[in-house]
Every structure is written in C-alpha cells, then in structure tokens.
Structure 1
Amino acid sequence: MIPYSEAIEQSIEEKTKIYTINSIRIATFLCGPLAAGYLVSQNYKAFDQREKVTITWIISAGALIAIVVLAAFTSSIERFPKVVFPLAYAWGTFLLVQKFQGEQMREHFAAGGKTFTIWRALLAGLICLVVTLAVIFVILLMIPGALEE
C-alpha cells in the first residue's frame, strides 16, 4: 500500500497538464505576446519553476510594448506588411520555448504527461487579446486627439 503523501504526489503529477509548443505558437500568432506570457508561465508552474513565472510576464509585457511602439512607427509606411509583427513574435516565442522548456516538455511527454487542448490555449489567448486591446484603448483615450481623425 502506498503512503498517503506519496499517493497525493502521484495524483498531482498525473493531473499536471502543459501547453504544447504548437499550441503556444498558434495562440501567440493569433492573440499576441501576452498570450505567450500566460501559456509559458503556466508551463513553468507545471514544471515547478515558479521563479521563472515573473520573468516570463516581464518579457511578454516588454515584447508587447516594443511591438506597439514599432507598429506606431511603421504605420506611416504605406507598403509595410502587417503580418511581420505576428510572425516575428510567434517565431521568437517558439524559439525561446524550445530552448528553455523543450527538455522539460520532452520529459513530460516521455513520462506520459498530458496536455491542454489547443482550444483552451486559444481561449486563454483570446482573453489576453481582449486585455491587450482594452489597455491600448485606455492609453489612447488618455492621449489628447489620438482617437480623432
């Protein structure tokens, strides 16, 4: 018979789910850097690396600010392809996740670990996108004449 504390640890390990690298990449492309921050931070929590959660949020917030600033500067360029920014941050997120979480993901899958569905990742990403748009709208409301055309 397994002692109670070991049984609890086993049940927690069995219930631990992570977001796959493809779920993170798709949600990031469609919903932005805050979605990446949320999904990656949830994986760090599942891997019991809570000290990296704050760093992940700081990086994703910094990426969001950089993208908004770059988008503002490039908005006057008439033929600038708008898809460049989502491709850049989705690709960058993919590379970072592969580098910093790839080994833990492989171990998780080798041990029979479970994953969240892509739909859950997209829902989380959609919520992050709504938050992002609300923050940008509030900032625009505070800048005199920003919404007038």
Structure 2
Amino acid sequence: MAETELEITNNTKNIKLYSSKAISGATILGGPLAAGYLISQNFKALNKPNEGHKSLIIGIIATIVLFGGIFMIPEKIVTKIPNQLLPLIYTGITWTIVEWKQGDILKIHKENGNSFFSGWKAAGIGVISLLIIGVVVFGYAYLSTNDELYEKYDIELSQFSKNEDETLVFYKHLSTETNRSLLQELDEKIIPKWKENIEIINNLNKLEDLPSELINQNKILLKYSTFRVQAFELLRIAIKEDTDKYNQQIEEIHIQIDKELDKLNQ
C-alpha cells in the first residue's frame, strides 16, 4: 500500500528539472535572463506552459530593467558599487522566487530520487545568457556612442555649411559692389569664416572613434577649405591692387576646388 501511494504521489518521476542550486548558479553567470529561462523550463516540464511563459517574460523584463538602470546611474557611482553586489542581490531574489514557486515540488522530486539536469548544463545556459546580454549591452553602448558622435559631427558640419553659403555670395558682389566694400567684406566676413571652417574640420578630427568615411571626408573638406582661403586671399590682393594679373592663379585654385567638390559628391 505504501509503495502504491509513493507511485501515485511521484508525479515528476519521468521528467527532469533544474534544482534551486543549479538555477542560482546559472543566475550568477547569466543574470535574470538565465533565471527566467530555467524557471520557465521547469514549469513547462511540469505541464504549466502559461507560468513558464510568464517566467521567461519576467526574466527578460528584469534583465532590461537591471541593465537599463545601470546605464542610468552616473559612472562615478557605478564604479563605487562592489562587482559582486548586484549578482548576489538578484541571485538571492531568484532563489527566493524558486523556493516560493517550485520549492516544494523540487524537494519532493529529490526525495523520490528523480532526475535533475546537471549543474553544468545550467551553467552553460548561464554562459549563453551572459553572451546574449553582452551582445545587446555592447551593441546598445556602441550605437548610443555612434548616435552621439554623429550628432556632434552634424552640428559642427551644419555651421561649416552655413559659413559656406554665406561666403559664396561674394562672387555675385564682384560685379555690384565697390572695391572698398569688397575688401571690407573679405576682411570681416569671407576670409574669417573660411578660417573658421578649417578650425571646425580640425576639431572634428579630434573626435574619438570617428568612422573612416568621415575621416576621409574631413581630409577633403580641409583641402577644400584651404583652397577657398587661398582663392579669397588672392582675390583680395587683386582687388586691392586693382589688377587682373592674378586671374590665372585664381583660376587654377578654383580648378582644385572643383576637384575636391567632385570627390565629396562621389
């Protein structure tokens, strides 16, 4: 009779489960994601798919909240937090949840001499979870850094373009303004703005982790800006001396300018 009762109560005889110890070990390695997955596998083995699905979702959400919170904490505070503190906290929480939701079942499963998955398999799942989290976190960090980098680059380059637009109208003024007015415009606006553009490109080159395509673009823009300064400075001399003897040199510089513009448009 006792043997018959044991067989009746041994509802988990033909299934394998993850022990509380194995789940906790995997959680230390792979965080809440590993915990959620292993707990969900136990529920599925116990024919409780809905609870299994919920456990996995909770593990994913907990992982997002955990690492999202870490990103929001100032770096100077994060560096003061002991490395093992957070893993110990969320592993302790996981242990409590497992004991609450599955503790009695796991205890009976063990007392009946039923099978458990090895701790090594659980640890392997923890490592996989760690890799997944690492890829997501570093991917997010990389994209965030790139977004910030491109934003800084675009802001500076917009000023470059503004300076360019405001100075190229000078060529229209050549036929409408006096020499005195043209010289004043060159000294106070045109040449200073192109020197500012050179400074803008030099500052952009100082940005860390600048992609190779932007580095190459900066080289072209720097040459382009330098040729612009040369052209306008030579124009200034020609206007001041009221001569056309520099026309050939000015034309050659403009040919170089066009070449750099062609490179930018490629």
Q: Normalization by structure 2: what TM-score?
A: 0.48
Q: Which residue of 2 aligns with 1:105?
A: 106
Secondary structure in 1 aligned to 2:47?
coil
1:53 aligns with 2:52: yes
Moved more, 102-111 or 82-91: 102-111
Amino acid at match of 1:116: F
| Contact 2:39 2:98 (C-alpha < 8 Å) held by counterparts | yes
Q: Which residue of 2 aligns with 1:92?
A: 93
| Contact 1:74 1:80 (C-alpha < 8 Å) held by counterparts | no
Amino acid at match of 2:62: A
Q: Which residue of 1 aligns with 2:29?
A: 30
Q: Which runs of 5+ in 1 are unaligned?
A: 1-12
- Of Structure 1 and Structure 2, the greater helix share is in 2
| Contact 1:67 1:85 (C-alpha < 8 Å) held by counterparts | no
| Contact 1:47 1:104 (C-alpha < 8 Å) held by counterparts | no
Amino acid at match of 2:121: R
Measure, in 2, the Cα distance between the counterparts of 1:74 and 1:106.
43
Measure, in 2, the Cα distance between the counterparts of 1:70 and 1:88.
14
Measure, in 2, the Cα distance between the counterparts of 1:57 and 1:145.
33
Matches within 5 A, 1:58-137: 58-72=57-71, 73=73, 75-77=75-77, 78-137=79-138
Provide, for residues 46-66 of structure 1, a one-character-per-residue CA deviation record: whole Å limited to 9, x for no partner: 111111111111211121112
Aligned length: 136
Q: CA deviation at 1:124?
A: 1.0
* 4+ residue runs over 6 A deviation: none
Q: CA deviation at 1:106?
A: 1.7
Provide, for residues 91-115 of structure 1, a one-character-per-residue CA deviation record: whole Å limited to 9, x for no partner: 0000000000011112222332110
- Percent pairwise identity: 32
Q: CA deviation at 1:25?
A: 0.7
Q: CA deviation at 1:39?
A: 1.0
Q: CA deviation at 1:14?
A: 4.4
Moved more, 101-110 or 122-131: 101-110
Q: Normalization by structure 1: what TM-score?
A: 0.82
Provide, for residues 9-50 of structure 1, a one-character-per-residue CA deviation record: whole Å limited to 9, x for no partner: xxxx54411111011111101221111111111111111111
Amino acid at match of 2:113: G
Q: Which runs of 5+ in 2 are unaligned?
A: 1-11, 150-207, 210-266
Higher relative contact order (CA closer than 8 Å, sequence separation 6+): 1
Q: Which residue of 2 aligns with 1:142?
A: 143
Q: CA deviation at 1:70?
A: 2.6
